[in-house]
Structures are given as structure tokens and as C-alpha cells.
Amino acid sequence: MKYTVQELINVLQQFPPELEIKTELAFLMNYPDPIYEANKHKPTEELERIARASATELCIFEGNWETGISDLNGDFEKYYKNREE
């Protein structure tokens, strides 16, 4: 099932607020190239905040970026943009 951000929030609000999610989550968001170009030299935390606020696509994977993510549906290649090239 696919969710909007609000739909996912609504589902999560059905659980106790202090309940820990046992799996790690890795977020992949895409946002307009002009946003990246205007902000690419900002500190990572600030660029990440701006990217989240400007996102046009969002994928949530199980795992983390350091040790690896689970991509059962093969969505990573479909949505990943390497902006370092």
C-alpha cells in the first residue's frame, strides 16, 4: 500500500507515541534541481531540511545509508539521483 505523508502519520498515530520502531529507516527524497543548485554549498543539515521541505518524491527504505538498505521492490534505481556527477 502506498501512503501520502498525512496517511502515514495517521496510521502511526494509532500506536503509542513512545513506541520505538525496531527497524532503521532511510529516507530518499527528490526535489527540484534549482533547489539543489541554490543550496548545494550549505551545511548538510540545512540542505537536508530544505530538501525535505521541497520534496517532490519520497521513498522510505528499511536500513541505513552506512550499512545498506533493503530495496525489495527495486525502487532505489528508479528514484535515486546522483547529484555529485
Query: What is the rounded CA–CA span in Å between residue 5 and residue 49?
Result: 16
CB of 34 closer than 8 Å to CB of 41: no
- Choose among 26, 13, 14, 33: nearest CA to 58: 26
What pTM did the predictor assign? 0.82
Tell me the CB-side half-sphere exposure of residue 34, using CA atoms within 13 A: 0
* Domain ranges for the chain: 21-57
The predicted structure's pLDDT at residue 40: 92
Note the pLDDT tens digit of each residue in 25-81.
999 999 999 999 999 999 999 999 999 999 999 999 999 999 999 998 898 999 998
